[in-house]
A and B are shown apart, each in its own frame.
Chain A
Amino acid sequence: EAQVTQNPRYLITVTGKKLTVTCSQNMNHEYMSWYRQDPGLGLRQIYYSMNVEVTDKGDVPEGYKVSRKEKRNFPLILESPSPNQTSLYFCASKLYNEQFFGPGTRLTVL
């Protein structure tokens, strides 16, 4: 089944404790992206990657890092999470015009 998977789906952590949210797609898409979704603000793009080793900032990259060492994986790294990074995170991959979203990761930073 073609899909985008994210892990973990739910995470509660404390300020300053480094964490990684994994994202993997099995559709061989070159383009992948991370978004956060907050009430009243909609989805905002954090980082995107056009291919292996090619990444670029979206609209809200501060406090996040990404890497793209393999085509299928695009992890999101929070080196020192803060409470304002509490949000619902979506990973997506894209073929032509259609973005396929993962199921989301709900992160709470205390």
Chain B
Amino acid sequence: QKEVEQNSGPLSVPEGAIASLNCTYSDRGSQSFFWYRQYSGKSPELIMFIYSNGDKEDGRFTAQLNKASQYVSLLIRDSQPSDSATYLCAVTPSGGYNKLIFGAGTRLAVHP
């Protein structure tokens, strides 16, 4: 069973701090990695994706991928209360470009 695992949280950080969200995956051949944000009662929305080892930055968000260790992380700098949401890690498995395997999500709470 291909799995994507995340700590369910809640991860509580003060406003202005860096929030670090982690995700591990079991399928070593996974190709593409995504982070989605889901506000309570809403649908998921894509934050960013990453394919290659290393860091990818987009505004306050940085995705980090380490294929050798099979983990992907999301850093949120200068966290704001509006960042409070559940963050979903998703992975395209080997041989399954059209499939997407999601983790259960990490709930982030940013307090003023």
Contacts and interface: CB of A to CB of B under 8 A. Distances in A.
Interface of A: 31, 33, 35, 40-45, 48, 50, 56, 58-59, 90, 97-99, 101-104
B104 A42 contact: yes
Interface of B: 4, 8, 32, 34, 42-46, 49, 88, 90, 98-105
A103 B43 CA distance: 6
B45 A101 contact: yes
Q: In the complex, which of the residues B4, B43, B45, B101 has the most CB atoms of chain A within 10 Å of its own CB atom?
A: B43
B100 A99 contact: yes
| SS of A interface (majority) | strand
A98 B34 CA distance: 9
A43 B88 CA distance: 9
A48 B90 CA distance: 16
Contacts of A104: 43
Given A42-B105, A43-B88, A101 B43 contact: yes
A60 B34 CA distance: 21
Contacts of B103: 42
A101 B34 CA distance: 14
A33 B92 CA distance: 14
20 contacts: A33-B98, A35-B102, A40-B8, A41-B104, A42-B4, A42-B104, A43-B88, A43-B90, A43-B100, A45-B99, A45-B100, A48-B99, A50-B98, A59-B99, A90-B43, A98-B49, A99-B46, A99-B100, A101-B44, A103-B43
